[in-house]
Structure 1
Amino acid sequence: MEQAMTPEEIKEQKPYLDWSLSEDEYNYISEKLLGRLPNYTETGLFAAMWSEHCSYKKSKPVLRLFPNKSDRVIQGPGEGAGVVDIDDGQAVVFKAESHNHPTTVEPYQGAATGVGGILRDIFSMGARPVASLDSLHFGELDNATTRMKVDGTVRGIGDYGNCMGIPTIAGETTFDPCYQGNVLCNAMSVGLMDQKDIQQGKAAGVGNAVMYVGAKTGRDGIHGATFASADFSDENATQRSAVQVGNPFMEKLLLEACLELITKHPDWLVGIQDMGAAGIVSSSAEMASEGKSGMDLDLDLVPQRETGMSAYEIMLSESQERMLLCVNKGHEEDVKKIFDFYDLDAVTIGRITTGHQYVLHHDGQVVCDIPVASLTDDVLEEASEERKPTRITAAEQQPAWQPQIDDPAATLKQLLAQSTIADKSSFYQQYDSQVRTSTVVGPGSDAGVLRVRGTHKGLAMTTDGNGRFVYLNPEVGGQMALVEAAANIISAGAQPLAITDCLNYGDPNDPEIFWELHQSVKGMAAACRTFDTPVISGNVSLYNENNGQAIHPTPMVGMVGLIKNIDRVVPSFVQHAGDRVYLVGQTRDDYAGSELQKMLTGEISGVVQFFDLDRVHDYMTRLLHTMENGHVASCHDLSEGGLGVALAETLFKTDRGLSLNLRHLTGAQLFSETPGRFVVTVRPDHAAAFEQDLGDAAQLVGEVTNTHWLEAHLADSELNLNVDELQQIWEEAIPCLMKSKD
C-alpha cells in the first residue's frame, strides 16, 4: 500500500512533490523542524498545511497591505469569518471562499460544496447564515463545455442553498475566454448574531475533549487543499478524488445542532471550527495553535463511512458537513445528547495535552508526533520575483483605442445581448431568494438587501470583480473592484462597512502574475482605506491556469453595508413620471477593457486610466447622505456597458421611459466605463435639496416619462428606442445561447 512507504523511501522517491511540497521545504522540515525524516502520514500533513491554500506562504507579504481594523470591526482575519458591529448588540458575520478547481472538474458538486463550506464558516462563529451570494466567471457561452459547466454550477449552488433554506440574494456572472479552462466559483455567506455569542476556533485547557461532530469521514476530497495549490491542466481535469460530495440536509441538521450548543450552552464549549480545506488536520492543528496547546487524537475513533482508511486518508479527507469542537471536560455526554437528537455523530476523538505536541494514534500505533507550530507557524514564506508584464509596458507607448460609433442605437442593442450584460434571471431563478421572508431586494438589482428582523435596520450586500481592468492595469483595476462594490452598496442606500475577498490569480511563480497580485492588492488596499472598508476575511486562490494559460487576475470584492432605516431602501429602477434624472460623476473616454471594446474588436487592450479616488469617495458619501434624507427616488450605478446599458436597465420591468439631453456626450461616450458613476432619479420637490447636496458632481440630464421609450439627444446622434424591444433582446440572449446545439 502507498501509505506503507518508509521515511527513507519517501526521501528517495519524493512523493511529496506531487502534493505541492517542495524539496527545500521537505529538507527544512526533516532537518530543522523535526531532526528526523517524517513518516508518510506526517509528510502528507505538512504538504496540506504548507500548501498555499492553507498557509498563504507566497501571498502573506502582499496581504499585509490590507487594512483590517475600523471602529466597527469586532473580528478580523484569522477566524472562520469576520465580524462587524451593526449596533444594538448585534453583528453581521461574513466571508467568501473560492472553489475554483473543484468546480472546473465537477461543476455540480464543486459549486455545491463551495456553498456548504462557506456556510460552516459562518455558523462556526456563532452566527445564523441569512444570505448567500456568488461570483461566477466562465468561458464564452458559444462553447458546449462552458454551457455544461454553467448548468452544473448553477444547479449546485441552487440545490445546496435551497435545501438549506438560505436565500441567494445577489451575485455576478461574467463570461470571457480566459476562464474557459479554469472556472471561477466564489461563494459568499452572510450571517447575523448577537455579539455575546461570538465563538473562536480555539482548543485549550488540559484534559478538555476534542469532539468530532457531523457526517462520517470518507475518501472524497483527499488533498483538496493541495489540488487548489497547483497548476491546472488536462492531466488533472478529471481529478474527482479531490472534489468533495455534499449533503445539504445533513448540513442543515449540523447548523441547528451547533447553534443550539452555542446559544444555549456556551459554558460547555471552548472552541469550534469547520473542517474545511485539509480536513481534520487543519481544524485540529489550527485550534491547538490558537489555544497554545498540545493535542492527542485517536483516529480509530473517527466516524468513517469507508473501511480500511489509513491515517493519511482520515486526516486529509475533506468530506463535508463536519465540525471539530473543544468541549470542557465533563460535558462530553451533554454535547453528545444534542447531536444525537439531530441524528449526527458526536464522538470524543482526543484530548488537550500539556506542552505543544501534535500526536496521532492509529491501529494502536503513534503515526504522528510533531510540534503543533511546525504545521501552523513554521511555514516558510516564499519570496517571489516580480516583473511588470511586457504587454502593459507596450500598451503604455501606444495611443488609446477610440471606438467609432455611427449608430449608438444599434450598438446598445448589441451590448444588451452580450452574455456578461444580458439578463441572468434564467440562472438565479433556480435559487430561492425569498426563503425566511427577510429579503427586501433580491437578485437582479445593484445589491441584495435583507431586513434585520425586530429592528428598522437592513443589510445590503454585493459581490464584484472585473478581471479585464485588472489585467490591463492591476493597481487601478484593484481600486475599481472596490469602488464598484461600494457603488452597488450605496445605490441601495447603505453605508459600506467592510469587505471580504477572493483573490483569483494564475501561477504566482510567474513573476508577471505575482506583480499583478501585488499591484492589484495595493490598489484595493488604497481604496479600502479611502472608503474605510477594512478586509475582515477572505481567501487567496492562486494557480488558476489551464495548460499554462492563466485567467485574467480577478480579485472579487464581497461587501456588506448597513441601512439605518429599511424604509429608505433605494430601488435601482425608475419610479415616477416627472422625476428628474441626474448623471452623477464625470464621464471620460474610458474604453480600455470595456464591454464595447471586447464586442467590437474581440479582445481587450490599452491602459486603464487612473481616477481621482478621493473625489469619487467624496461625492459617493454625499450621495448616500441625500439618500438617507429621503431625497432619491432611484439609483443605479454604471458598470459594464456604461451609461447606455444603465439607462436601459433602469427602465426594464417598468412602464416608464426617459427623455434625456446628453448633448455633452458622444455616441461612443454613451458606452464608456469610467468608474464611480450613477443614474439617479429625484422627485421634483426634492431636486433643490439633492442638487445642493451633490453640487457639481451631479448633472441634470432629463426626466422620467410615461412613454416606455428611451429618448436621448447626443452630441453627434439621437436615440429613440422602444424599451420593450430592448428588454426582449436583453432577456432572450442567454436562454438562446444556453439552448444552442453548437
Structure 2
Amino acid sequence: MDATESLPSLETARKLGLLPDEFDRIAQILGRRPNFTELSIFSVMWSEHCSYKNSIVWLKTLPRDSDRMLAKAGDENAGLVDIGDGLACSFKIESHNHPSALEPYQGAATGVGGINRDIFTMGARPIAQLNSLRFGSLDLAKTKRLLRGVVKGIGDYGNAFGIPTVGGELYFDECYNTNPLVNAFSAGIVEVGKVAKATSYGVGNPVFIVGSATGKDGIHGATFASEDISAASTDKLPAVQVGDPFMEKLLLEATLEIIATGYVIGIQDMGAAGIICSTSEMSAKGEHGMIIDLDKVPTRQLNMAPFEILLSESQERMLVVIEKGKEDVIQGIFDKWDLNCAQIGEVTDTQRLHFYRYGELVADVPAYDLVLGGGAPQYHREYREPAYIKEFAKFDPSDVDDLEKDELKKVAQHLLTHPNICSRKWVYQQYDSTVGTANRSTNAPSDAAVVRVKGSDKSIVITVDCNSRYVNANPRQGAMIAVAEAARNIVCSGGEPIAVTNNLNFGNPYVPEVYWQFVEAVQGMGEACRRFSTPVTGGNVSFYNQSSDDGPVFPTPTIGMLGLMEHPSHRMTLDFKNEDDLIYLVGPSTDDIASSEYLYSYKGIKASPAPNFDFETEWRIQESIKTMIRNGWIKSAHDISDGGLFVTLAESAMAGDKGFQIETDDRYRTDAFLFGESQSRVVISISPDQQQHVEGYLDDTILPFAFLGKVTAGGFVVDDIAVLTLAEAKDSYDNALGKIMS
C-alpha cells in the first residue's frame, strides 16, 4: 500500500456511518490507521444492515433448533429445513425498504432478485414467492406512485424470472407515508445431499466471480439502509441497484449446474456490500483467507476505484470457490450460459483478505473482524417503554357506543372496501401465480399458499403475517399474535407449521422507545415460536424506518412461516361449498374491539391495546382444526383476523359464490361479535350429517364454539337483517382497490 496516501480522518469515518469508538477499534484491529478503501470496507461490514450490531444480542435469544433444521440460523444464505423423503426446503424473507422508498420499481425488483439468489445459491430451485407490503395513506399521490412502482417491479421481475408469486399481504397506514416496507419471501426445494454451503477453504482453490459485470450501482447500499430516510436521501439514488431478471434466470440455471458437478467448495450471493461481504463471510466461516485481484473483476465502467468495485451491489452476481484443477469445468458451464466467469483470486491460509488493484495492495483486512458473529461490534442499547403504551391500556370499550342494527350495512360496506381488507385483485392480477404449475391455491383459495413439491405427494404451505397495529399497541403480545396467526393460517389450509423466517422492521435503534419495541417484539416472537416448535431459521433486521416528518413506522416483525402438507387429501380451503351447510365459530366470543379495523378506521379511535390473546386457547383451537381436517369432518376453514367475524364470513361466502344467514349472541356487544378481532377463532362449515359428530368432538375437547347459522344461495343476513346481497358485496370487495388506484 502507498505509504504516502492521505489517511482518512474521524470526520470521514463519521460520514461513512462509523462511530468514534468504532474508528478507534478499526485502528486497533489493523495495528495502524486504515486507508480509505479499508475504512469503506469496515463501514459497510459494520453497518447495521450487515453486522446486526444493534440487534444480534436479542436475535440470539430466539429458538433456532429442531430435528428438522439442517442449517443453523444465519450460517448459510437461507434457512434449510428437512421436509422428509430426502428433500429439504430452503426459505427466507428480506427487506428492500429504503431503495423502494426512493426508486420503487428497481427497489422492489432487486429485492425479489436478491431473495431468490439466496435460495438457489444453496442448490435449491425456487418454487414460490410471497411479499409483505406496507404503504402510507392512499389519499396521497405519493403512496399511489410507490404502490404502482413496487407492484410492477415485483411483477416484472418475478414473472420474467419464472417463479410464481403465490400470496402475500398488503397494508396501509399513515405511519408508512415516508417509509414503505417491501419484504420479499422465497422458498425452494433441494435434495438433502446436494446442498451448497457459503464457505471457503482449501489453500490454492480458485475464487471466481460469476454473472453480471460490476458497476457503480448500489455502492454503500448497506450503509444507506442503515440510516433514517430524509430529504437528502434522494441524493443517494446510486445506492439503489438495477436488476435484470433474464440474467438472473441464466444465473439460476448455471449455478444449479455447477453445484451439481460436486466441485463447488462454497458459493454466496453478492447482495448487500457486494464483493467485500461475500469474500469476508465465506473466508471467516471457513477460517481461511483470500488474495483478490480487482483488475480481473469484469466491470461496466472504466477506472472504477477499489472501494467502488468492492462495495458495488450490482445485481445477479455470485462468488464461487471451487476445487483447484476444475477451472475449465466452471468456465465451460458459464460460457454455455453466456455469463461472465472470471477467476479473481485464490484461497489462502492467512485468514486475511488481500485486495490488489493495478498491482498494488489496496487493502489488507482480517476476515473474522469484519463479520457478524466474528469481530463486528455488538451493542446493548438503552431502551424504555414509550408513554403511549400506558395510554393505550386505559381504553375501555364501554366508553364506545355499540352500533345499532341499522348501521350494519354501513359498517359492512366500510370494511369490505377498506384498503386493508378489500380484495388485492388489482395487485395479484399483475403477478404470474401459475408459472411452474405447482401452485395449488390459484383456483382454491385458502388462508395460506399451498405449493406442490413435484415428484412427491407433499406440498409446502407458506404465509407471511403481521398486524403491525397490534404490535404497536403491545409489541410483545402483537408479535406473539403474528406468529400465532401465521400458524393458524397454515393449519386452516391443512398444513403443519414447522419453521419461521422473520423480517423485523423498526425505527431508529438509538431511540430508546423504538429499541424497547424491538426487544419486546423479539421476546414475544421467541416465546410463541418455542410454544409452536417453529424455530427461527434466519431472516432480516431492517432498522431506521423512520423520518423526521412521520417518526418511526409501526413496529413490524413480519413472520414468514413454512408449513408442510404430507398429502393432498389434507388440503382445506376457505370457500363455502353447499347451500344449507352449517356454519360454526370455533373459539371464544368476547366483548373485545381493541385495535380492530372497525375501531381504528370506522370509529376513528387509534389508542387501544392489542386484542385478546391466550396462547393455551390458541394451541388447542389449532389442534382441533387440524384433527377435524385430517378426519374429513369439515368443508371449509377460515381464520378470523382483520375485520372480524363478518369479514371472515363474507370472504368465505364470496369465494364460494354463496351467502350466509347467522344469528348474533346477545350476551356480547354487536360490534364486538361481528367486527372485533379477538384472536384464536376460526369459522368452519360442515355438512348437516356431521353436526352431531363435530359438536360431540368439540364438547369433548372443552373448547368454546358456537353454531352461527347456515350457508345460503346468496345474500348476507344477520339477525334476519339483509345486510348485503352477494352481488353488492363482491362489487364492493373486488373493485375497491382498483377504483382507488384508477
Q: Under a length normalisation based on structure 2, what TM-score does the superposition of the two structures give?
A: 0.96
* Residue 430 of structure 1: aligned partner: 430
CA RMSD, 1 decimal: 1.7
Q: 2:240 aligns with which of 233, 239, 243?
A: 243
- Correspondence 1:203 to 2:205: no
Q: Which residue, out of 161, 164, 169, partners 2:166?
A: 169
- Taking structure 1 as reference, are residues 18 and 477 closer, same or farther at Cα in structure 2, changes over 3 Å only? same
Which of 68, 73, 79 matches 1:72? 68
Aligned partners of 1:526, 1:242: CA distance in 2, in Å? 37
Given that 2:369 and 2:376 are in contact with CA atoms closer than 8 Å, whether structure 1 keeps it comes out as yes
- Offset from partner CA, 1:328-351 (integer Å, 9 cap, x none): 100011111001100001111011
Q: Deviations over 1:442-488 (max 9, x none)?
A: 39642111111122211111111111111111111011111111111
Letter in structure 2 aligned against 1:302: V
How much does 1:396 deviate? Answer: 2.9
| Match runs of 1:587-602 below 5 Å | 587-602=589-604
Trace 1:399-414 onto structure 2 (pairs within 5 A).
Answer: 399-400=396-397, 402-406=400-404, 407-414=407-414
* Offset, 1:384: 0.3
Does 2:420 align with 1:416?
no
What is the alpha-carbon distance in structure 1 between the residues aligned to residue 89 and residue 609 of structure 2? 38
SS of residue paired to 1:441: coil
C-alpha distance in structure 2 between counterparts of 1:90 and 1:6, whole Å: 56
Distance in 1, matches of 2:235 and 2:679, equals: 40
Post-superposition shift, 1:594? 1.5
2:259 alignment counterpart: 262
Distance in structure 2 (CA, Å) of the matches to 1:600 and 1:413: 11
Distance 1:186 1:7 in 2: 42
Aligned to 1:686: 690
1:676 aligned residue (675, 680, 701)? 680
* Paired position in structure 2 for 1:326: 321
Amino acid paired to 2:203: V
Contact 2:411/2:602 (CA < 8 Å) preserved in 1?
no
The correspondence of residues 168-317 of structure 1 with structure 2, limited to 5 A, is: 168-263=165-260, 265-266=261-262, 268-317=263-312
CA contact (8 A) 1:442 1:449 kept: no
Amino acid at match of 1:59: S
Contact (CA 8 Å) 1:7, 1:40: kept in 2 or not? Answer: no
Q: Which moved more, 1:511-520 or 1:596-605?
A: 596-605
Alignment map for 1:525-536 (pairs within 5 Å): 525-536=526-537
| 2:724 is the counterpart of 1:724 | no
Report Cα offsets for 1:557-596 as digits up to 9, x if no partner.
0111111111331111111122221101112233232211
Say if 1:471 and 1:552, in contact at 8 Å, map to a contact too.
Answer: yes
Task: Pick closer, same or farther for the CA change 1:637–1:507 going to 2, 3 Å.
Answer: same
Which of 379, 382, 386 is matched with 1:385 structurally? 382
| Equivalent residues in 2 for 1:441-520, closer than 5 Å | 441-442=441-442, 445-520=446-521
**1:51 is the counterpart of 2:52:** no
Measured after TM superposition, the shift of residue 399 of structure 1 is 3.3
2:631 maps to 629
Measured in 2, the distance between the counterparts of 1:557 and 1:318 equals: 26
Tell me how far 1:625 sits from its aligned partner.
1.8
| Aligned-pair CA distance for 1:730 | 1.1
2:705 counterpart residue number: 699
| Residue aligning to 1:367 | 362
Change (3 A) 1:66 1:235: same
- Tell me if the contact between 1:234 and 1:546 (Cα under 8 Å) persists in the aligned partners: no
Instruction: Write out aligned runs for 1:77-88 (5 A).
Output: 77-78=73-74, 79-88=76-85
| TM superposition shift of 1:27 | 0.9
TM superposition shift of 1:718: 4.1
Q: How big is each residue's C-alpha offset from its partner over 1:350-399, in whole Å with a ceiling of 9 and x where there is no partner?
A: 11112211110011100111211121211121220011001112333453
- 2 CA distance for matches of 1:506 and 1:181? 12
Which letter maps to 1:556?
T
Q: Secondary structure at the match of 1:680?
A: strand
Other structure's SS at 1:86 match = strand
Q: Which residue of 1 aligns with 2:13?
A: 16
Structure 2 counterpart of 1:145:
142
Distance across 1 between alignment mates of 2:684 and 2:7:
69
The answer on whether the counterparts of 2:208 and 2:342 sit within 8 Å (CA) in structure 1 is: yes
Q: Who is 2:716 aligned against?
A: 710
The unaligned stretches of length 5 or more in structure 2 are: none
Higher mean alpha-carbon deviation, 18-27 vs 332-341, is at 18-27
Amino acid paired to 1:293:
H
- Give the aligned partner of residue 352 of structure 1: 347
Q: Is the deviation greater in 159-168 or in 605-614?
A: 605-614
Matched residues in 2 for 1:143 and 1:239: separation? Answer: 24
Please give the alpha-carbon distance, in whole angstroms, between the structure 2 residues aligned to 1:48 and 1:175: 32
What amino acid is aligned across from residue 585 of structure 1 in structure 2?
Answer: G
Q: For structure 1, which segment, 175-184 or 676-685, has the greater mean C-alpha deviation from structure 2 after superposition?
A: 676-685
Write the distance in 1 (CA, Å) between the matches of 2:62 and 2:396: 34
Report the CA distance between 1:709 and its aligned residue: 1.4
Which letter does structure 2 place at the counterpart of 1:727? K
Q: Aligned partners of 2:693, 2:5: CA distance in 1, in Å?
A: 76
**What is aligned with 1:577?**
579
Residue 605 of structure 1 aligns with which residue?
607
* Whole-angstrom distance in 2 between the partners of 1:42 and 1:361: 12
Give the Å deviation of 1:7.
6.4
Write out the 4+ residue segments of structure 1 that deviate beyond 4 Å after TM superposition: 3-9
In structure 2, C-alpha distance between the alignment counterparts of 1:707 and 1:76, rounded to whole Å:
52
Q: Which residue of 2 aligns with 1:558?
A: 560
Residue identity matched to 1:571: T
Cα deviation, residue 547, structure 1: 2.2
Paired residues, number? 730
SS of 1:178's equivalent? Answer: helix
SS in 2 for 1:186: strand
Aligned CA distance change for structure 1 residues 308 and 5 (closer, same or farther; 3 Å): farther
- CA offsets 1:13-33 (integer angstroms, 9 cap, x no match): x22222221111011111x21
CA contact (8 A) 2:585 2:708 kept: no
Q: CA deviation at 1:262?
A: 1.3
Q: Which moved more, 1:509-518 or 1:645-654?
A: 645-654
Amino acid at match of 1:402: V
CA distance in 2 between partners of 1:618 and 1:663 (Å): 23
* Secondary structure of residue in 1 paired with 2:436: helix
Contact 2:220 2:312 in 1 (8 A): yes
Distance 2:563 2:529 in 1: 14
Structure 2: how far apart are the matches of 1:169 and 1:37? 51
Asked whether the 8 Å contact 1:591–1:597 carries over to 2, the reply is yes
Q: Is the 8 A contact 2:446 2:572 kept in 1?
A: no
Partner of 1:62: 58
What residue ranges of structure 1 are gaps of 5+ in the alignment? Answer: none
In 2, Cα distance between the equivalents of 1:624 and 1:27? 57
Q: TM-score, normalised by structure 1?
A: 0.96
